[in-house]
Amino acid sequence: MPGRRVLAAAEFHDPAGEEFGWWGLRWAEAPPGDLRWHEPLVRVEGSDTPGSWRHVVDDQGGALGVAYEGLAKSGDHVYQARWYDPWLGAGRRHRFVLLENGDRPEVASEAFD
């Protein structure tokens, strides 16, 4: 079974036209049929002080979505999380966390602000 890994740092996508701005994270993961979609897959954590992370939102609500992008040429199954309601500001750092799912471990992205 393929290991999960973050493919690139989280990126902010500016609002354009009728689309809201959002933070996104892409990662490689097991095939869609191996995931437990009824359980949370991704959450965003926030920190006002270094090393102290708290739950902000997860994909069980409407502000954070998870989509399957498809099979890459490398053979990886690629996914993307989009956080549509970021609460950012001076001194606030965030990170995406791929939650433990099945036999795959939790993986956190690098922090962003």
> Can you say whether the dihedral through the CA atoms of 55, 57, 60, 66 is positive or negative?
negative
CATH assignment of 5-108?
2.60.40.2300
User: What's the confidence (pLDDT) of residue 1?
Assistant: 44
For the chain, give the percent of residues with pLDDT over 70.
94
More reliable by pLDDT, 32 or 89: 32
Mean pLDDT of 26-53: 92
User: What's the confidence (pLDDT) of residue 85?
Assistant: 76
**CA angle 106-108-113, nearest 5°?**
155
User: What's the confidence (pLDDT) of residue 2?
Assistant: 56
Q: What is the pLDDT of residues 51-82, one digit of tens each?
A: 799 999 999 999 999 999 999 998 899 999 99
Phi, psi of 34 (to 5 degrees): -95, -5
